[in-house]
Amino acid sequence: MKGKVMNDDVDDAENTDGDAPATHGANVLFGTAMQLIDKMSMSQARETRLTRGLVISVALDIILSIALIFVAIGQVHQNNAFHVAQTKQNAALSAALIKSCRAGNVNKANDIKLWDDILKTDHPKTAAQEEQFLTIQGLVSVRDQPIDCVARYG
């Protein structure tokens, strides 16, 4: 084996165009080192670009987060204002419905009085007329029943 290694060394010495084997190895090592340095410089430039991109990304993230906080605060304020306005509108609507219902109750009471007066003057003569009289009286009492307005609309 030693002879083989020596033959390789002799072959290397012969293939270097007059350079000594140590000089050839140094040239190869130097070339490899220069390639690594070039790659490192490209890697550093890439790293610089990535660092700048990361800084810009973090800055945009912070700015967008702050903007989102302001939007959320504005939305909460708007929702509160809407809720207050809706509550006022509901109270006004409820009051208007109760007022209208009470007016309807007054109308119903007047209808009952009117029908009672009409039905008192009309005296049935036959059984069919008596049945019709009772039917009308039943319809009036059912249709014109007062409503508990506060329970319904309050």
Which range is least confidently modeled, 41-45, 100-104, 145-149, 150-154?
A: 41-45
Half-sphere exposure of 119 (CA within 13 A, CB side): 19
Q: Are 136 and 115 contacting, i.e. CB atoms less than 8 angstroms apart?
A: yes
Contact 124, 132 (CB under 8 A): yes
Q: 74 or 139: whose pLDDT is higher?
A: 74
What is residue 145's three-state secondary structure? coil
Residues in CB range of 140: below 8 A, 6 or more apart: 111, 112, 115, 116, 119
Angle at alpha carbon of residue 123, lines to 122 and 124, rounded to 5°? 115
Average pLDDT, the chain: 81
pLDDT at 117: 80
Q: Is the pLDDT of residue 14 over 60?
A: no
Whether residue 149 contacts residue 98, with contact meaning beta carbons closer than 8 Å, is answered with: yes
pLDDT tens, position by position, 86-145: 999 999 999 999 999 999 999 988 888 888 787 777 676 788 888 887 888 888 777 778
Q: Regarding predicted confidence, which is higher, 37 or 109?
A: 109
